[in-house]
Homo-oligomer: A and B are copies of this chain.
Amino acid sequence: PGKKVLIVYAHQEPKSFNGSLLKIAVEELTKQGCSVMVSDLYAMQFEPRATRNDIVGHLHNSEAFNYAVETWEAYKRGGLSKDLVEEQKKVQEADLLIFQFPLFWFSMPAILKGWMDRVLVQGFAYDLSKVYDGGLLQDKLSLFSFTTGGSQEMYSNEGISGDIRYVLWPMQHGIMHFCGVKVLEPHICYAPEHVSEENRKEMLAAWTQRLKTLWKEEPIDCSPEWYFK
């Protein structure tokens, strides 16, 4: 109760299974007394491309554009574009970040990757030597909640797509841990399009159930061992 949650949501269709998972999270967390913010990326037509447009006014070096340097400098002087500032405000306020999306090509949809690329700039999310456990977004939790096309068997150690944890490494360790954000167990719904309506309902119920005790969970140990044994 009183906790703030930002859900960054990347699906085009409210009637989708991802849409249902979003709805459940908003309802359940609100019921708990949390304040829930939602960044509905497709609805916002969120810009995924990292370009000069992200910097308001003059460039630090207009001779050769370096996105990382320019956004860092712009952050320091308050010169990032409005859409980024708004997302950063939401992140700053949040105790928990939930990313809700369908797995696309072993990763996030580009629109969500663009949110990571553009919002988590140097100075805001990390800084010189302030990375990983020293990252600037400490005391926050994150949770990757996603659906897959492939089955759980495919995403197993013996399966053709390999252990699902392999795809979590860049997202959980490379992004969240890098920024100092703690990582809760991912929530994975395998192949909702290929199971029965009954199974789908069970998956939705399981998400509701998990959210009820979410705040009691311990973060995972986000080390290589967790991912690769």
Task: Give A contacts to B, CB under 8 Å.
Answer: 12-13, 15-16, 42, 45, 48-52, 63-68, 104-111, 113-114, 116-118, 120, 131-132, 149, 160-162, 166-167, 169-171, 173-175, 178, 193, 224, 227-228
> Would you call B170 and A16 a contact (CB within 8 A)?
no
Which residue in B68, B109, B162, B173 is a CB contact (below 8 Å) of A162? B173
Which residue in B48, B132, B171 is a CB contact (below 8 Å) of A111? B48
> Would you call A109 and B105 a contact (CB within 8 A)?
no
> Would you call B16 and A109 a contact (CB within 8 A)?
no
- Which residues of chain B come closer than 8 Å to A149, judged between CB atoms? 68
- Which residues of chain B come closer than 8 Å to A50, judged between CB atoms? 12, 104, 109-111
> Would you call B106 and A175 a contact (CB within 8 A)?
yes
* 14 A-B pairs whose Cβ atoms sit less than 8 Å apart in the complex: A16-B64, A48-B110, A48-B114, A50-B110, A66-B193, A104-B113, A106-B173, A107-B113, A110-B110, A132-B160, A161-B174, A166-B166, A166-B169, A166-B227
